[in-house]
Every structure is written in C-alpha cells, then in structure tokens.
C-alpha cells in the first residue's frame, strides 16, 4: 500500500528539484519550514519527531534541502520524512502545507480491527502492521 497523507502522495515521488520548489514557495510566503520523521504512520499520529527546530530565517530552499539531506542520512528507507510549513499569521497560526518526501522501502499498511458492540454497532481500530515492532526497528 502507499500511505496517502500529505499534499502530493498521489503523484510520483517528488524529485529534489520539485521538493526545493515547494520549499521555496513556503519560504517566499514567510512560513517556517519543518522537517519531521516517524516510523509510525497511523493517521492520528500527529506528532512526528522534529528534525531540529523549525527553520524560521532561511532565505533559500537550499538551506532546508541541506537539513533534509542530513535527516535522510540517518532515516532514509527506514522512516517516513515529511516537510511541513507553519504560518504564524493571525487567525491561521497553523500548518499551510505538508507533504511526504521520503518513505520506507516497504509499506505494509494497516489492519482494521472490528469490535462488535451493542446492536449492530462496531468499534474500529486501525493498526499499522509496522507498529507491532518496537520504535526504530519497524522498517
């Protein structure tokens, strides 16, 4: 399966040139760019690990690409890595863009567990197959 979180998961994996253009778009809008990574792809796993601090003062995408490459040196192939951009404008003050740049080589996907409860109601639990193993040893 292919995890489809993020803005560009239905497109072929972005090249570094394409990632750089998106990052530059974020910088030009005055947004702070974050690099985050995780090996728990659950859709409600909000807090991926931050790779360093959000980059508030970078002028050129090359600065972000530099950190992305550093992050990849450690996590590529074993973790998901995403780039997200934070907008501090009043009444927004949240993310404006988020997309996956790197994914594990294999994506085994999720099991859907159903617990039959009252009447015909069912409680659903989504569980990533990868999450059966301890953090850091999942992919």
Positions that interact with another protein (CB under 8 A): 1, 3-5, 7-12, 14, 18, 21-22, 25, 41-44, 46, 52, 55, 57-64, 66-67, 84-85, 90-99, 109-112, 120-124, 126, 128
Alpha helices for the chain (secondary structure H) = 16-28, 61-75
Of the two residues 58 and 81, which places its CB atom closer to another protein in the complex? 58
Q: Give the alpha-carbon dihedral of 102, 107, 112, 113, to 10 degrees.
A: -110
CB of 106 to another protein, least distance (A): 14
CB of 134 to another protein, least distance (A): 20
The DSSP code sequence of 16-37 is HHHHHHHHHHHHHTTPEEEEEE
How much is the CA Rg of the chain, to the nearest whole Å?
17
**Under a CB-based contact definition with an 8 Å cutoff, are residues 82 and 36 in contact?**
yes
Q: Extract the tokens encoding 91.
A: 């009444």
Of the two residues 67 and 75, which places its CB atom closer to another protein in the complex? 67
Of the two residues 57 and 105, which places its CB atom closer to another protein in the complex? 57
d(CA 122, CA 125): 10
CB of 77 to another protein, least distance (A): 18
CB of 115 to another protein, least distance (A): 12
Of the two residues 112 and 137, which places its CB atom closer to another protein in the complex? 112
């Amino acid at each position: 399966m292919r995890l489809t979180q993020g803005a560009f998961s239905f497109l072929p994996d972005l090249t570094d040139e394409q990632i750089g253009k998106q990052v530059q778009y974020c910088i030009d809008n005055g947004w702070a760019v974050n690099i985050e990574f995780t090996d728990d792809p659950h859709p409600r796993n909000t807090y991926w690990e931050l790779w360093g601090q959000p980059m508030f003062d970078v002028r050129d995408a090359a600065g972000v690409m530099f950190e992305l490459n550093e992050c990849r040196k450690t996590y590529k192939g074993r973790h998901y890595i995403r780039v997200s951009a934070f907008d501090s404008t009043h009444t927004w003050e949240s993310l404006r863009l988020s997309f996956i740049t790197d994914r594990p080589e294999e994506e085994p996907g999720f099991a859907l567990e159903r617990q039959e409860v009252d009447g015909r109601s069912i409680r659903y639990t989504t569980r990533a197959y990868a999450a059966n193993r301890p953090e850091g040893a999942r992919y």
